[in-house]
Structure 1
């Protein structure tokens, strides 16, 4: 699979993740077929492209050319019939996804690359009803997929190593940073990290230590800024000074387990959920979804541009 040739990419589903993929693939000049059961899909996609296009990677195609490479094919079998890459973004319902991949397996070309954006399910489970699921790979993006580079690549026991290699090559060709997980694990890696931070965030807000809005400020003005440039291990390796992680683990990090025991386990009961919703609406409810998305993507693309410039100067 040549990394530079124009491909036909079928995107199944026009939800949040599917819309980001559509914008990204069009930005890289690919032909994109949208398969969606939503009658209003053309309008939804058009509005998303207008919102997302300014934040596509540098060098992306002119948005004015998108319509020439975009089509809507509600019939699944027709949508995948001669596709090079198929990206599934259906709801996290195993039975639904199994049915989709069973149909895809019968209708798609034998050499098509099959990707699922699932955040919880493995390829073997997804392809359990397929005669041959060797081309099925999980390619789990981090929202929004047209901005955030990470894609977790997960193979199953029946997945062909060649399919994994092609997934990495394709994702790299559209400007993503694929990371192949060495072993399957529930919820993969990035969401487990996010979930751990979210749990403690809910605990701190629920206990009244900080408000929801203040918690967001705590993260963006500290660990969020740090993690945009270095990962947790490099951060603490640097935190050890000249002695690195070895020194840090022997001093400041010596009581990590004791600290972990103090982390919260907040119940997600009705009271907690209502409190979080009320605080979120009080903090952010006076601004539209589109306004918040533009601000988020403006800041995230600015960070990515700056990091790219720094890398070029090194």
Structure 2
């Protein structure tokens, strides 16, 4: 692992969560952003949650915060080797960030963007050192969820890839490498393929949302937290899998547009939790219990190298 500080550009949810992760593993971290007090408040809130969960002590949280600093001046990043870019999903904004980094970071080995949508090919076109840019897409919150999808552009160097992989793996992240860019990367392509079929089943009257969710939680959902999809299908036998697919595939949804039932909800303004109603009615739900459920599966991945002083 590099002895130099890591820089994070942006103080949003992802950027500050990554600052929590890096400092939690003893890595000096500089966050470049305006209104540092807002970022520091978010940072401390994350640590308060970790303390409540019994994952971090007050002493450890204090030691981690000593490794965090904020700046608004790119000149303060002169010593960094790896920069994590977490700014808004606008290419012109990212390009300006990259120009500043190239001008102020003489030891730069890699820039990793946390974008969830933009291709690294497009990102690289905004840099003169295009061999140093890539996508490193985490899942929220990245200090708890271990998956990071790593996507290179056509010119990304092995040195740049190695620098980012070393950083992430030193913090216990599961780096999932893509051979080439594709919309949605890995996890979202899989997740939305599943969601497409789930919504279709509801629209066809095959079952309701509650029973689909119940089925996932009580059948193969837990299995895939321990073994993988290819593990399971190889173990079951590919001849069996081929027979099932021959029978099943013609009946599966293959729509290329938003489902009618989803569009109807959008038109009504029923957007899910944030408006109170989606496919479910969220207005009477215990949201504290729900948030706890969303984080519980990831607690077993907590393996930080916490500093003590």
Alignment TM-score, normalising by the size of structure 2 = 0.81
* 2:298 corresponds to: 300
* 2:118 corresponds to: 121
Q: Judge conservation of contact 2:110–2:161 (CA < 8 Å) in 1.
A: no
How does 1:92-107 map onto structure 2 within 5 Å? Answer: 92-107=89-104
* 2:305 corresponds to: none
* 1:253 corresponds to: 245
CA distance in 1, matches of 2:256, 2:184: 20
Secondary structure of 2:241 counterpart: helix
* 1:65 corresponds to: 63
CA distance in 1, matches of 2:151, 2:188: 14
How does 1:270-285 map onto structure 2 within 5 Å? Answer: 270-272=264-266, 274-275=269-270, 277=272, 278-279=277-278, 282-283=281-282
1:96/1:209 Cα in 2 relative to 1: closer, same or farther (>3 Å)? farther
CA apart distance, 1:205: 4.5
Deviation string, structure 1 residues 200-258 (Cα, Å, up to 9, x no partner) = 3333445565554544333222232121122222222333xxxx113331x32322431
CA apart distance, 1:141: 1.4
CA distance in 1, matches of 2:138, 2:291: 17
Could you list the runs of 5+ residues in structure 2 that have no partner in the other structure?
A: 303-309
CA apart distance, 1:193: 0.8
Q: Judge conservation of contact 1:137–1:159 (CA < 8 Å) in 2.
A: yes
Q: Judge conservation of contact 1:33–1:73 (CA < 8 Å) in 2.
A: yes
Q: Quick check: 1:9 aligned with 2:6?
A: yes
Q: Quick check: 1:81 aligned with 2:78?
A: yes
Q: Judge conservation of contact 1:115–1:137 (CA < 8 Å) in 2.
A: yes
Higher relative contact order (CA 8 A, sep 6+): 2
1:163/1:258 Cα in 2 relative to 1: closer, same or farther (>3 Å)? same
Q: Quick check: 1:133 aligned with 2:134?
A: no
CA apart distance, 1:291: 5.5
* 1:45 corresponds to: 43
Pairs aligned (count): 293
Secondary structure of 1:269 counterpart: helix
* 1:309 corresponds to: none
Query: How much is the aligned-residue C-alpha RMSD, in angstroms?
Result: 3.1
Secondary structure of 2:246 counterpart: coil
**Of 28-37 and 5-14, the range deviating more from structure 2:** 5-14
Could you list the runs of 5+ residues in structure 1 that have no partner in the other structure?
A: 306-314
1:262/1:12 Cα in 2 relative to 1: closer, same or farther (>3 Å)? closer
